[in-house]
Every structure is written in structure tokens, then in C-alpha cells.
Amino acid sequence: MTTVRLSIKSIAWVLGISMIVSSLMGVFVTYLAADEEFNEVLEDDLKQNAELLNAMIVATQATPQELQAFLEEHIRKDDEDTIWVTVYHPESGWQVSNFDHQRPLEERGSDSLEGEFKGYGWRGYQYDEDGLVVQMFRRDDLTNDIIGDIAEEITAPTLLGSAISLLLLVLLVRLIAKPLTALSKELKQRRGDDLSPLASTSYNREIQTLTDNLNRLMAEVDQVLTRERQFANDVAHELRTPLTTIKLELSCPDPDIQAITSETERVNRIVEQLLTLARLDQHHWLQRFDKVLLEARLNSIADKFQRRFDAQNIQLSIQTEAVNVKGDGTLLQVLIENLLNNILRHSETADWVNIELTPQQLVIEDNGVGVSPELLNNLHRSTNRLDSKGEGLGLGVTICQRIAAIHGATLRFEAAQPGLRVILSFS
């Protein structure tokens, strides 16, 4: 089935033509109604005047001479109100008219009449009463002129209104079509990888809303693509070293099985972190949020890590207050465990690690060698490392940053002089 697509201009033309046709039809119907009504009014007027003239003649017992003088003085016959009046007295055989004629009375009775006289068509009424027959006519051409004037009075404002409406429609279409055309042109010129905001602006609220929604959608798509590229970089960066080590060991005549096992476990941990990182991009976490007693979680995590800190001769101390946060307990646990894992991995010179939990923030601080100012300023980037040998904290920090963002919290790193201070602030 063929789909018909109409442009706004085409629709506007259809609407404009429909308005004009509707207006003309309205004028025509109005003219027909006015013509009918006006003829009825004129006929009623002639009928009443004929009755009135008949009653006056009977009441005054006017002679034909007196009646002739009255008609010539009071009945006009030379302008747009020209009326042809003839009075017949059938019994005596006389007739009187404001026009000079000797037309005989054809039929008696009261009824509408039509006729020809002096080259014009006439329409009138005949009134037969008290032995008198009164005929009153108006010229058709004068009546038509009056109806034409009425039709003009009706048509002119109607057509003027239609013209104004059509002009407003054209202006409205231009107001809508121009920004839409500009928006379409800008989108057509875009490359597939160009997700920068659209520059098109419009005074039309709906079109501006459409532009804003497109910009929002492209910004979200750009964020998704950026995360995908970052994820690919994370995978390549984190897996390069252990896979290279395994490849070198396997190429040796006498491979180091322990090294291969260690690097394999490292690859397994990295893959688990990558899977966690991928899951954090899903918005379903927000639907699972509930109240989390963070103090109990933190104490449980500290107990689990106590043996590992003791093995590295690092004193672990913890001060907590009762803190309830809205979030996902599993994600918060992953965040805290990642931070403690990074401290264990990169704080060989540390003597102590202190954890402090308040309703406003969670602070983890050590007195190790700390990090350089340059690395400290860019610690949120997943490709940064504490050194060239270790496993790197890129993925761990990225995971922590995203978990914090999901919970509306902020994660920042500060130099403790010596050591490093990690602060998780709740909103």
C-alpha cells in the first residue's frame, strides 16, 4: 500500500482552498436565503400597501380624478423605489394608474402577479375587495439591484475575513515550516558520528521542545557511546599485560606454571570487574533502592579485611555512627571493598588505615606514600595507574565512581600528607 506524505505547505494550501470554497459556498447560500427572504418581504409590503390603499379609497369615497391626483403626487415612478399602481372598478369600468396605460383587468381575486410593462419585468400583488381591485408592482431590475447591494454587503466582509484568515494561515505556516526546514537541513548535513547539540532555535514552543528533546537524546547517545568506547579501552588496557605475560610464558620451553596461574587469576578478576562495570550502566539499579544500614555493612566488610591488613602489618581502625542511606547494599559493598583492595595493593609502606563513617560521608585514609599530584588530579580516569608494575586501580576506581554516581554521591581523592584520603560524600 502506497503511503501518501504531505508537506506542511501542501496541507496549508488544502486548508486555504477549503476556507475559500467554504466562504464562497456560505456567501452563495446566504445570497439565496437573502433573495428569498427579501422577495417575501417585498411581496408582503406590496400586499399591505394594496390593502391600505383599497381601504383608504373605500373610506374616502374618492373619485377617479381625486385618486389620479393622489397617485401622481404620492407614488414615485422614476427611481429605485418605483411602484406601478393601478386601481380598477369593474362595475363602473373605470381604472386609474400612476402610469399612462389602458391594460385591462385580466382576472379578479387576491394573488401574486408577474408581468411585462415598458420593457421591464414586474412582480407584485393584486388585492380584490369591496368592488375595487388594486394592483401594485415593483420592477424586477430594481429589486435585483437591491438584492445585489445586500449580497455585496454580505460578500465583502466574508471575503475580507477569508483573505485575512488565509494571510494568517500563510504566516503561521511560514512560522512553523521555516524552523522545521532549518532543523531538517541541519540534521541532513550531519555526519553519523556528529552528536553535538543542534543550533536551530525557534519561537515556536513545540518545535523548540522537539529540538531540545533531540539534543537531549543525542547527548544521551553520546554518553552511551563514550561509555562503550571507554569500556573497550578498559578491556584492552587491563587485559594487555596479563595476556602478554601468559603468552610469553607459554612460548618458553619451561613455562612458569605459577606465573601463568597468577596471571590467569588476574584475568579472571579483571573480567569480573568488567562485568560489574557493564552492569552498572543499566538503569534498573534505581528501581531496587531501599534503606541500607551502612554501619552494619561497613563493620562486616572490615571484619572480612582485618586478616589481610594484619598480614601486611597495617593497623586498621574504624569509627562509625548509625547511618541509613537509600541505595543498593550490594553495590555499596562493592564500592567499599574496591577502595580497600586498592589500599592493600598500593600501600605497602602504610602503617595504619583509618575508616570513619558519619551521616555526611565515609572517609578512608592511610599514611602510605600517597600518589603524585598529577595522578591525584586525574584519578577518576580508568586508565591511570599507581605504578607501572601493579594491576592498576583503573577499573576499580571507575566502578567506584559509577556506583557513587548511581547513588547521587560524590567520590574524591585527596593527599593526606603523607598518604591518601578517599572521601565518599552522601547527598
Beta strands in 91-234 (DSSP E): 94-97, 111-117, 120-129, 132-139
Grid coordinates given for 44? 408582503
What pLDDT does residue 425 have? 93
User: Is 80's pLDDT higher than 70?
Assistant: no
Highest mean pLDDT among 15-19, 184-188, 314-318, 385-389: 314-318
What pLDDT does residue 387 have? 40
Is-above-0.75 flag for pTM? no
358 by DSSP, 3-state: which?
coil
| Tens digits of residue pLDDT in 184-203 | 787 787 777 777 887 777 77
Would you give the DSSP letter of residue 283?
Answer: G
* Nearest partner of 425 among 413, 328, 381, judged by Cα: 413
| Tens digits of residue pLDDT in 269-309 | 777 766 766 666 555 555 567 888 999 989 999 998 898 88
% of residues, the chain, pLDDT over 90: 12
User: Is 365's pLDDT higher than 60?
Assistant: yes
Provide the angle, in degrees to the nearest 10, between the axes of the packed helices 294-311 and 329-346.
20
Rounded average pLDDT over 21-28: 77
φ, ψ at 274 (rounded to 5°):
-65, -40
CB-based contacts of 47, cutoff 8 Å, min separation 6: 125, 127
What pLDDT does residue 390 have? 40
The residue assigned the cell 562485568 is 275
What pLDDT does residue 362 have? 93
Return d(Cα 47, Cα 53) in angstroms, integer: 10
Return d(Cα 46, Cα 113) in angstroms, integer: 11
Ramachandran area for residue 346 (φ above 0: left; ψ -120 to 50: alpha; else beta):
alpha
Return d(Cα 271, Cα 114) in angstroms, integer: 107
Return d(Cα 390, Cα 262) in angstroms, integer: 13
User: Is 389's pLDDT higher than 60?
Assistant: no
Rounded average pLDDT over 258-265: 82
CB 329 within 8 A of CB 289: no
Return d(Cα 336, Cα 332) in angstroms, integer: 6
CB 298 within 8 A of CB 320: yes
301-337: burial string, b at 16+ Cβ within 10 Å, e else: bbeebeeebeeeebebebebeebebebbbebbbbbbe
Would you give the DSSP letter of residue 393?
Answer: S
- DSSP letter string, 5-57: ---HHHHHHHHHHHHHHHHHHHHHHHHHHHHHHHHHHHHHHHHHHHHHHHHHH
Grid coordinates given for 77? 415612478
What pLDDT does residue 405 have? 86
Torsion, Cα 26 27 32 35, to 10 degrees, reads 140
User: Is 391's pLDDT higher than 50?
Assistant: no
What pLDDT does residue 393 have? 41
Higher pLDDT, 292 or 349: 292
φ, ψ at 5 (rounded to 5°):
-115, 125
Rounded average pLDDT over 406-410: 87
Out of 147-151, 252-256, 292-296, least confident range: 147-151
* Reported confidence tier of residue 88, pLDDT bands at 50, 70, 90: very high
User: Is 3's pLDDT higher than 50?
Assistant: yes
Higher pLDDT, 361 or 80: 361
φ, ψ at 411 (rounded to 5°):
-120, 125
What pLDDT does residue 133 have? 93
What pLDDT does residue 99 have? 87
3-state SS string for 364-392: EEECCCCCCHHHHHCCCCCCCCCCCCCCC
Out of 156-160, 250-254, 316-320, 332-336, least confident range: 156-160
What value does the mean pLDDT of the chain take?
A: 80
Rounded average pLDDT over 140-158: 77
* Reported confidence tier of residue 417, pLDDT bands at 50, 70, 90: confident
Out of 202-211, 215-224, 255-264, 329-338, least confident range: 202-211
Rounded average pLDDT over 354-374: 87
Would you give the DSSP letter of residue 288?
Answer: G
What pLDDT does residue 358 have? 93
**What CA–CA distances, in Å, run from 341 to 313, 315, 336, 391, 397?**
15, 15, 9, 11, 11
- Residues belonging to the chain: 427
